[in-house]
Amino acid sequence: MVTKAEVRKLQRLGSKSLVVSLPRSWVKKQGLQPGDMAYVIEEYDKIIVMPYRKQAEAKAGEITVNLDAVVDDESLPLEVVGRQILGCMYILGIDNFVIKSSKVDSDRLFDMVRESGMPTAGVDIDVDEGGVRVSSIIDVNRLEPTLAIKNLLRIVIRQIDYMLDYSEGKLTDLKEIEEKTQRSIEDTRILERLIMRSLIGPKSLVEDIDVRHIYSLFGAAILMVMSNDFISKDLLWMAHNGKKPGKKVVEYLKQVREVLESSANLTVNPSISKAKEMYQKLEKLEAEVNKATLGASDADARLLMTVYHVLRIARIITYIGFCLGLSRSKALERPEKK
């Protein structure tokens, strides 16, 4: 939780870089001196600065993962199993561990960890005797589920915007489309892991949010990941096949963008009245999309089906917001506690 914030001016350094000074009180507390090393971690729309701590400091209470006990099927590549193990360690909140194997040399293990997609948590990786040591350098147990929802929503809307740009001829390069879409999918997967860690890690539930709300947010998050996958696959299919959505479909996409944003906000700020308004919009839009699907071309029909699925997802998310709003409203008359 942020306890202190202040505005500081960015100064130019060289032709392209900008620098900002660190608070004196924080520097003193961390025992930092000029020339010391620090981690600078980019996390979505913010930058995190962490003092550099040597690997030796993380060895206390370290856990060892015996890879040989898990990789017992030669048909399953080591890299696939390795990624799953690393993801589980992260989700379970085990931040300092050593991976060892009598069958795989340390250099290959090192490459596996490095390429595993561990940006979910900034980590140090070092070759250890007979294995590889992994140490987290940032504690993300403080994740706010509402922030995760907002970031997921941002990703889904960004992907819809890519589709709209493609339909209007603003995004034409196939390689660029593939790169943007892959980044979008990877971003949602990172947030999936963050949310899972916040639920089942050692410091799982956030103190200022009740269990019912956090699981509702988790459900909404997974539904938004699905929405992003649907839209991403359609964009790739259209780009590879030289297809473009019709004008009416584009209009529906713009409306989907709006209702998704509104429904997701309901899970963060539940409201019965706003949920009821959303239901009216969704029912009307779903009926229009169903009608438009009949007789549509292959490309339009495919995208309209995606639009319909996303609208159904928006309806479920809206219902979550409605239920949460009801649970907090005066409409529920609870018996007095004795």
Q: What amino acid occupies position 161?
A: D
Does CATH place domain 145-328 in 3.30.720.110?
A: no
The pLDDT value recorded for residue 329 is 80
273 Cβ contact partners less than 8 Å away, ≥ 6 residues apart: none
Token pair in block for residue 206: 């956030």
Summarize pLDDT for 51-72 with one digit per residue, the tens. 765 444 445 557 888 887 776 6
The pLDDT value recorded for residue 123 is 65
Do the Cβ atoms of 226 and 317 come closer than 8 Å?
A: no
The pLDDT value recorded for residue 171 is 94
Distance CA 330, CA 318 (A): 20
The model's pTM: 0.69
Please tell me whether residue 91 adopts helix, strand or coil conformation.
helix
Distance CA 206, CA 208 (A): 6
The pLDDT value recorded for residue 2 is 46
DSSP character for 125? E
Name the CATH code of domain 11-52 (choices 2.10.260, 2.60.40, 2.40.50, 1.10.287). 2.10.260
The pLDDT value recorded for residue 322 is 87
Do the Cβ atoms of 85 and 99 come closer than 8 Å?
A: yes
DSSP character for 23? P
Please tell me whether residue 66 adopts helix, strand or coil conformation.
strand
The pLDDT value recorded for residue 237 is 94
N- to C-terminal Cα distance for the chain?
Answer: 36
Going residue by residue through the chain, which has 338 residues, state the pLDDT in tens, using 9 for 90 and above: 345 677 888 888 777 778 888 888 888 877 888 877 776 766 555 677 777 654 444 455 578 888 877 766 666 677 777 777 877 887 777 778 888 888 778 888 888 777 765 544 566 777 777 788 887 655 544 456 677 777 888 889 999 999 999 999 999 999 999 999 998 888 887 777 777 776 666 555 555 556 666 667 777 888 888 889 999 999 999 999 999 999 999 999 999 999 988 888 888 788 899 999 999 999 999 999 999 998 888 889 999 999 999 998 888 888 888 888 887 787 777 677 66
Dihedral of CA atoms 196, 197, 198, 199 in degrees, nearest 10, equals 60
Task: Please report, for the chain, the start and end positions of each structural domain, with discontinuous segments joined by +.
Answer: 11-52, 57-136, 145-328
The pLDDT value recorded for residue 58 is 46
